[in-house]
Amino acid sequence: MKVSDLKIPVEAKDYQECSEFVRKQIEEIISDSIKNGTNKILIQTNLKRGLPLENINKVAGPFVEAWALEQFEYISENLKNKYKLIHVEPGVRLAPYDILLQFKKQRNGNDGIVTANVDVKATSNDIPTSGLSPNITSFGRIRTEYINDPDYIFIILSLKHKVYGEKDPKTLMTNGTMEVMSFAVYDLKFVSERDISYNPALGTGQLQIRDIHYVTETKRTTWEFCQMLDKKFISSKGDQAWNKLAELHGWLKGTETLPEVKAEEVV
């Protein structure tokens, strides 16, 4: 496929500034939650053995994601909050994000809005392998998002937690606590090539982070990011499979770009 046949996304000049802005706001929100002690999720169970701590990471994701959503929602209710967060909504089924955040920001001397699509990843402090190669999003879906919107900001919010519990001698109930201990915030577009891997096993293939606790950055344009993803896909599935996806999802000039990627099983 010739480059001249492709739709080439061109982001706004202030993309990097906007990306750094939303990451800073998210970092401050989570950091303040930890400092203020609002970083705990209480879980009560009548299981005789208490919480299954060796497998708690399997259920931690939904809890931690719900916690993060509530932190953002609580802040957005204050219209004069210092983080300039003005809108929060949970992701719907098939959406590439878990939480959508909108911040107020000056852009080119005027009042503007910056949208961050946030993918929440929970990792356990007590399990050494937790955080290794988590699925982030599918190749077909995320590439289409960047073609539809070259200024698309996809944020990975990694939340590390620990879980502990104690039994109440009177009620014999186990009072468990899931505590968010630390965090990291990444813009997917700036994650270095060596830290992104491609798993062809699911649908159009899943992008994964090799180790979410240790990620380095590479500043790049939206087009450079798409080219990097294409290279990983083609090296795994070949040019013919890529051409088929390009025609399906509207990555070629003269074709209509899908407003929403639903054909995740197309290879």
Which parts of the chain fold into alpha helices (H)? 15-36, 57-76, 139-148, 222-237, 239-249
pLDDT tens digits for 98-147?
Answer: 999 999 999 988 899 999 999 999 998 877 777 788 899 999 999 999 99
Rounded CA separation 84/26 (Å): 11
Query: What CATH class has 13-249?
Result: alpha beta
Of residues 194 and 265, more confidence is placed in: 194
Which of the four pLDDT bands, split at 50, 70 and 90, describes residue 57? confident
- Give yes or no for residue 259 having a pLDDT over 80: no
Structure tokens at 69: 């959503």
Burial (CB < 10 A; 0-12, 13-18, 19+), residue 171, is exposed
Per the CB < 8 A criterion, the answer to whether 138 and 206 are in contact is: yes
- Give yes or no for residue 1 having a pLDDT over 80: no
Q: Return the top range by mean pLDDT from 158-162, 168-172, 199-203.
A: 158-162
The structural domains of the chain, with segments of one domain joined by +, span 13-249
Whether this model's pTM surpasses 0.85:
yes
Given CA atoms 198, 202, 204, 207 in this order, what sign does their dihedral have?
A: negative
Helix (H, G, I), strand (E, B) or coil at 261: coil
Rounded CA separation 217/18 (Å): 16
Per the CB < 8 A criterion, the answer to whether 39 and 179 are in contact is: yes
Which residues are within 8 A (CB) of 178 and not within 5 positions of it... i.e. 6 or more apart? 40, 41, 43, 56, 60, 63, 64, 161, 162, 163
Rounded CA separation 187/221 (Å): 12
